Amino acid sequence: MPADTDVFIVGGGPAGLAAALAARQNGFEVVVADRAHPPIDKACGEGLMPDGVAALRRMGVELGCWQGLPFRGIRFVDNELEAEAWFPHHGGLGIRRTLLHQALVERAEHAGVVTYWQTPVDAIDPCGVTVGGQTVRCRWIIGADGIHSRVRQWAGLRQVWSGVRRMGLRQHFRVRPWTDLVEVFWHKGAQAYVTPVGPEEVCVALIGSAEKAPGADMAALFPQLADRLGRAEPMGSQRGAISISTKLAAVTRGRIALIGDASGSVDAVTGDGLALAFHQATSLGAALAAGDLTSYETSHRRIVRMPRVMERLLLLMDGSDGFRRRALRAVAARPTTFSRLLAVHVGALRPWEASFDVFDFALRLLASRTVIRPSI
Ligand SMILES: Cc1cc2nc3c(=O)[nH]c(=O)nc-3n(C[C@H](O)[C@H](O)[C@H](O)COP(=O)(O)OP(=O)(O)OC[C@H]3O[C@@H](n4cnc5c(N)ncnc54)[C@H](O)[C@@H]3O)c2cc1C
């Protein structure tokens, strides 16, 4: 460990490594420490949204077909109801979490980031961070240590809100992907989403309540998915993780900034956690360069605003069969509305540019709810 550095990043997951790259691009000396060994795996749907792919490219991380499989949109499936939409310009990428991590590590180390693995950070103090009894002095401390962030606690940056706690389980299957869309299969209180991640491999993430998800009978909840998977062989072991939506009053204090899940998270069903972290990294890099974290605080709020709106809509669909089916009928009847809402979700359209579509969607929802009673 060096005695000092400009930026010390606690956590070398996707958010920490993206923050490291952004800081290096702005000329800082950067140290990253993570308690795990790379490539780090994690339960994840493994779908990287198009804006996340683009944000990584701007940081010099080129992900290609040799690492994953592009997908061109999203399909929602609820028994007989189906609705799909394509991304407006570029597709997303289905990529195994370990391959994404490996690509980020290689790029970061190539860019001059100093990495320490199997190295837990024990504390922060007024001079810097404490690692294995040694203090590393630094100008900036970045907490990229995930949903249970200790840096957040040490800095006194408390969560002011948390949503429903759900459980996510991930399993890979050896099967040729049957579509180039990410498919989300819906059931009340649970979703399974399928991301093509290789020519002979799909990733299935099941998300549901902590009671429902672990013992869930996939075939009973999602018969169409069970048909698709047929006798496909599970690959590797199943992994689980908590999916929870959390909000903080502030993500910076003094010279400390939080990023990624440590700075507040959105439910996994949005498929947006990674892209959010990569956007946050870009704006954090600019704030570090300016020597003032105020702009990061503001842009962090802006970056998470729209995903939170989408999350609310998706969780409403999770909680009510009636609402979900009306919503699916509404977007199936007018695919352009779905495409434009998806374009807003990935930042290709500004929300006001889709205001007519939101209005149209709301009208259709209301219309499908109206029961016309015969007059007596
Ligand atoms: C079931 C599920 C499915 C998901 N699907 C998707 C999806 O399809 N697409 C998408 O974009 N997002 C998805 N997400 C969200 C995404 O996984 C997260 O947003 C993303 O992992 C956040 O990255 P991070 O770097 O902030 O945190 P993490 O990936 O959790 O990394 C935090 C790192 O900090 C390290 N660490 C913690 N404490 C210390 C310490 N004291 N010292 C040193 N190191 C420490 C850990 O070892 C870890 O490597 C999903 C989430 C779940 C739960």
- Note the pLDDT tens digit of each residue in 117-175: 999 999 999 899 999 999 999 999 999 999 999 999 999 999 999 988 999 999 999 99
Kindly report the average pLDDT of the chain as a whole number: 93
Q: In ligand 1, which atom is closest to the CA atom of 40?
A: 49
**Pocket probe mutation, ligand 1, options 10, 21, 32, 44, max atoms within 8 Å of Cβ:** 44
**Pocket probe mutation, ligand 1, options 261, 272, 346, max atoms within 8 Å of Cβ:** 261
pLDDT value of residue 376: 43
- What is each CA distance from 169 to 15, 233, 363, in whole angstroms? 21, 17, 36
**345 token code pair:** 């979700």
Structure confidence by residue, pLDDT tens digits, 199-239: 999 999 999 987 777 777 888 899 999 999 999 999 999 99
- pLDDT class of 53 with cuts at 50, 70, 90: very high
Helix, strand, coil in percent for the chain, rounding step 5: 40, 30, 30
On the question of pLDDT at 370 being above 70, the answer is no
Average pLDDT over residues 278-288: 98
On the question of pLDDT at 81 being above 60, the answer is yes
Strands of the sheet containing 73-78, edge to edge, are 81-86, 73-78, 181-187, 190-198, 201-209, 166-174, 233-243
pLDDT value of residue 33: 98
Least confident of 250-259, 298-307, 355-364: 355-364
On the question of pLDDT at 371 being above 70, the answer is no
pLDDT value of residue 64: 81
**Pocket probe mutation, ligand 1, options 42, 134, 181, max atoms within 8 Å of Cβ:** 42
Q: Rounded to the nearest whole angstrom, what is the distance from the C-alpha of residue 319 to the centroid of ligand 1? A: 25
pLDDT value of residue 372: 43
**265 token code pair:** 């998270």
Per the listing, tokens 């990253």 go with 32
Average pLDDT over residues 59-75: 92
pLDDT value of residue 361: 84
Ranked by mean pLDDT, the top range of 249-263, 313-327, 336-350 is 249-263
The continuous run of DSSP H or E covering 342 comes out as: helix 335-345
Rounded distance between C-alpha atoms, residue 93 and residue 221, angstroms = 27
pLDDT value of residue 126: 87
pLDDT value of residue 373: 47
Burial level of 37, CB count in 10 A (0-12/13-18/19+)? exposed
Closest-CA residue, ligand 1 atom 30, reads 146
Structure confidence by residue, pLDDT tens digits, 297-331: 999 999 999 999 999 999 999 999 999 999 999 99
Q: Rounded to the nearest whole angstrom, what is the distance from the C-alpha of residue 24 to the centroid of ligand 1? A: 21
pLDDT value of residue 217: 84
CB 76, CB 329: distance < 8 Å:
no
Phi (first) and psi of residue 172, to 5 degrees = -90, 150
Report the pocket of ligand 1 as residue ranges, CB < 6 Å.
Answer: 10-16, 33-36, 40, 42-48, 120-121, 144-146, 150, 168, 170, 205, 207, 241, 243, 260-262, 268, 271-275, 277
pLDDT value of residue 369: 63
Rounded distance between C-alpha atoms, residue 49 and residue 71, angstroms = 9
Q: What percent of the chain has pLDDT over 90?
A: 83
Average pLDDT over residues 52-62: 96
